[in-house]
Structure formats: C-alpha cells, structure tokens
Structure 1
Amino acid sequence: MVDRNRLQISGNTEDVMKLDSQEQRWAAFGWNVISVDGNSIEALDAAFTAAKHHAGTLRMAQDAGLPLSELRADGGPTANKYLMQFQSDIAQVTVSVPDVAELSGFGAACAAGFSCGLYDPETIFANTHRSCFTPEMDHTEREARYNGWQKAVRQALTH
C-alpha cells in the first residue's frame, strides 16, 4: 500500500521523485495496482477486499508450474492475521510473516549497522522470527470464494 499524499518530512515528494507514472511502473512488473481516493472509506474498503483476494496471482504462478513453497509478507497488512490466513488459504501456500512488520525500515537500519560494524549479520538474521500461516480452508470453500472474486472483477471491469 502506498499513501500518496505528496508530502514527506522535508517537503513535497515530487521534489525528490516524480510520482506521475507509479501505477504503470508497478503494473509493468505484474503487480495488481488498485488506485483509490484515500479519503473515501468505501473506496479503501473495496481496495482492501480486492487486495485480500489477490492471491490469485500466486495461484496462477503455481498453475503455470512455477515452484512456490512459501510467500514471505511484510508491511502493515501483516498485522491482520485474518488477511494472512486468507492469503495462505487461497494461494494454498505457507505465508511467513516476520515479527518486525516494516522490514524496509529495519533493513535500512541493518544495512547501516552492518556497514559500520555495529551489527553482526549472522546474529541479526538468527534472531529474526517469523509466524507462519498454513492453508486450512477446504477445497470447496476456496474455489467458491475464488470464483466469486473472479466474477466480481469481471463485473467491475464491464461497468
């Protein structure tokens, strides 16, 4: 999730990085991009609902014969245990979530600490713990939910 409010600690985001084509850039990498008005609770709710069903991309990768034994997730949405379990159920793969939700900031701090000898990489990585969510939903329910999501997406694209 990206909150594109065009502000950062030192001023306008546009002064540092152009944001005009972010959606196209992410879509070019195969990401499911959903842009919504962040001031609309209804739009945010619809986006989160669509995002929780996005495990379909992982399912397509598996259907294509690409090996996938684990999905590692991080960031704010990992605090939602229901969402992580749902991702695991729909994708039929273990979802692994670190104890540190925001790995981007943690990674930057570790890189700085590693470079100056403050932290030992082996110690840091040995002490990184993850919670795992394994598939629990039965096949019939999973198929019904996934098919319902596909129908909703088709209807949204035609209206």
Structure 2
Amino acid sequence: MTAPYPPRSTSEPSREEQARALCLRLLTARARTRAELESQLAKRGYPEDVSARILDRLAAVGLVDDTAFAEQWVQSRRANAGKSKRALAAELHAKGLDDDVITAAVGGIDAGAEWERAERLVSARLRRENLDGDQLRVARRLIAMLARRGYSQTMAHDVVSTAMRREVERRRV
C-alpha cells in the first residue's frame, strides 16, 4: 500500500528564501520603504547580510523604490488627507526615508499650493457650519483642523479669517 501523498521534502527553505517570502508578503499588502522592510526583517531576527542581499535584489527588480514610494505617498496624502508639506515630510521621515528623497518628493509643493489646499479644506468645512452663532468657536475649530494637518498657525489663521469673511459676505447676499 502506498501513501496517498508524496513524502515531504526534508529540506526547509533557507533563511534567505524565508526573508524574501516575508518581504514579498509585506509588499503585497502595500508599497513599503527599504527602511520599513529592513526593520521587519531585523525584528524577525534575519542577519543584516541576508537582509541587504534580499533588499538589493528587490530594489534591482523595482519592487523597492524609495523615491517612487515618496512621490506616491505625497500625492496620495495631499489629495486624500490634505496634509501640508511639513506634515508630509514628517511622515516620510518616520518611514525611514533619506532627507534627499524627502526634499525631492515635497519640493514641488510651493506656498501657493499650500494656501490653495488649506482654502479648499476650510471652504468644504465652512459650508456646513452655522455662522449665526459663535464665529470665534467656528474659527478655532477650523484653525485646529488645519494645524492637525501640519499647516502653520499663521497660515491657518490667515486662511480661516479670509474664508470666514468671504462666507459671511456670500451668505448676506
């Protein structure tokens, strides 16, 4: 009588194969920086030389690209979360990216673009606010909303003041 399944291989996958499989699993969920992958490999006890070889290979085939990751991150977080240049730089820094990569990724955001994005965020919220009541409370809430997204206190105050004046005038007409 023969066994229904072929005998299992006695050789286990090498540490390098295991590390590569881990990286590919992590990259399947979402794009990651080299530093994030290095951290995950170190956390699981993979030697630095194994990690370096795996990550170099993944970078060579284009699966790990910190510059592309940073550009995509900035575009996505600006569009979806309305983050400021300063907040985006902090997020990228927390992801382990080099200062040169961060500077290049956020370099296209100028003060005018920051102002316009802040105005759009405030306008969207302001339309839903009741300005017949406590306008100071509304202004504080809007300034705090911008501050949480990384906009400077000065810019937040100026944008909110301008937007509230415009909205009050619009509602009077």
TM-score (norm 1): 0.30
As a proportion of its length, which structure holds more helix?
A: 2
As a proportion of its length, which structure holds more strand?
A: 1
TM-score (norm 2): 0.28
